[in-house]
Structure 1
Amino acid sequence: YASCTGCKIFASDSITPRISHVLPSAAPPGSSLTIFGAFSFYGNSSLDFVKVAVGVANCTIWQLSHSQIVCNISRDQRVGPVYLSIFVQGVGSSELFPYMIVPLLLSVFPNYGASILGGSSITLEGEGFDSELIV
């Protein structure tokens, strides 16, 4: 229970962080994301006051402005659908933004000569594959 005498509290859509789009549109763990939108910091533009969540993990911010945020997805992030959100201390949180974490494909062998009719074996190498992946 808390009380506040003489406090003035206001809410405004104009300062709520808003995500318009994200590039790339899907990415593997460890990749950089550029998040575009409208971000008001009200003096809290230090990286200590802004957090980007990708699923349940933090995305490490390395560039910040009022129109874009660039961050690195954790290498431990699981592959699959997640939500992005931005929290600015003293301002609030964005709405959840749907995003897809995808496996990183490094190579395909053989990269030529397989039958277009199917039945050929190929080897895929990369990161983020799990036992539920269907090719």
Structure 2
Amino acid sequence: MAAKTLIRAVYRLLDGRKVRVLVDSWYMRRIFIESMLARGFDVIGQVRIDTRLYDEPPKRKKGQRGRPRKYGRKYTPKRIAHLKRSMVTLPLYGKEQEVRYRSKVLMAHFLGGRLVRVVWCEFKSESGHWKKAHLLLSTDAILTPEQI
């Protein structure tokens, strides 16, 4: 994979600094993300809008029988629509753009249940219409949606 080769080449130059890798949706695959996490890098990128996301599983009660749950409830479009929608103006692509988003820290199924910050965002076009939603994902769950 070309991206992993490039990262290997510059890895020694980074010398333990906090690094965030911003990648195209093509590279937002488990093998690439885990490779970056193994080096101590955080990854931010766009993933498929239908990516399976889950709440954290409920805490086990004392004496509860059976295998502990790996995931909580699945995030469906209906549940996403109930999240609080925020609207901000951000400097993007060299100009101020209106963005509305919903965000939550959830478990990503394709990453084996890793907690990630996900942001469903929509951009306002120059004609005043809202474009279709995009799903951004960050392995650094403490980042704010605006930072992502």
Q: TM-score, normalised by structure 2?
A: 0.24
Larger strand proportion of the pair: 1
TM-score (norm 1): 0.26
Q: Which has the larger radius of gyration?
A: 1
Query: If each structure's helix is expressed as a fraction of its own residues, which one has the higher value?
Result: 2
Of structures 1 and 2, the one with the larger relative CO (CA 8 A, separation 6+) is 1
